[in-house]
Amino acid sequence: MVKYILKKFFYGFLVLFGVITVIFFLFNVLPGDPATVVLGQRANKEAVEAINRDLGRDKPLLVQYLMYINDLSPISFHNSKDRNSAFYLDEQKYSYNFLMSMDEGACVVAKAPYFRRSYITKRKVSEIIRETLPETAVLAFSSILVASFFGIALGIVAAIKKNTFFDRLALVLSALGMSAPAFFVGVIIAWLFGFVLADYTGLNPQGSLFTTDVWEGEQLDLKNLILPTITLGMRPLAIIVQLTRSSLLDVLSQDYIRTARAKGLGFYKIIVKHALKNALNPVITAISGWFAGLMAGAVFVEIIFNWQGIGYEVYDALTKNDLPVVMGATLIFATFFILINIFVDIIYGILDPRVRVK
Task: Report the interface residues with other proteins, using CB under 8 A.
Answer: 7, 10, 254-256, 258-266, 274, 277-278, 351-354, 357
- C-alpha triplet 60, 63, 67: angle, nearest 5°: 135
CB of 352 to other proteins, least distance (A): 6
**Strand segments (E) across the chain:** 75-79, 96-101, 106-111, 210-213, 217-220
Q: By C-beta, is 53 or 277 nearer to other proteins?
A: 277
CB of 285 to other proteins, least distance (A): 16
CB of 252 to other proteins, least distance (A): 10
Crossing angle of helices 276-297 and 310-319, rounded to 10° = 40
CB of 161 to other proteins, least distance (A): 14
CA distance 254 to 258: 7
- Phi-psi bin for 78: left (phi > 0), alpha (psi -120 to 50), beta? beta
Q: Is the dihedral of CA 193, 195, 200, 204 positive or negative?
A: positive
Q: By C-beta, is 18 or 202 nearer to other proteins?
A: 18
CA distance 38 to 344: 42
Write b or e for each residue in 79-97: b if 16 or more Cβ atoms lie within 10 A of its Cβ, otherwise e. Answer: bbeeeeebbebeeeebebe
Q: By C-beta, is 66 or 257 nearer to other proteins?
A: 257
CA distance 290 to 144: 8
CA distance 200 to 203: 8
CB of 164 to other proteins, least distance (A): 12
CB of 260 to other proteins, least distance (A): 7
Q: By C-beta, is 15 or 265 nearer to other proteins?
A: 265
Q: Are 147 and 237 in contact (CB under 8 A)?
A: yes
CB of 287 to other proteins, least distance (A): 18
Q: Which helix (H) or strand (E) holds 325?
A: helix 323-351
Q: By C-beta, is 122 or 354 nearer to other proteins?
A: 354
Q: By C-beta, is 64 or 278 nearer to other proteins?
A: 278
Q: By C-beta, is 60 or 264 nearer to other proteins?
A: 264
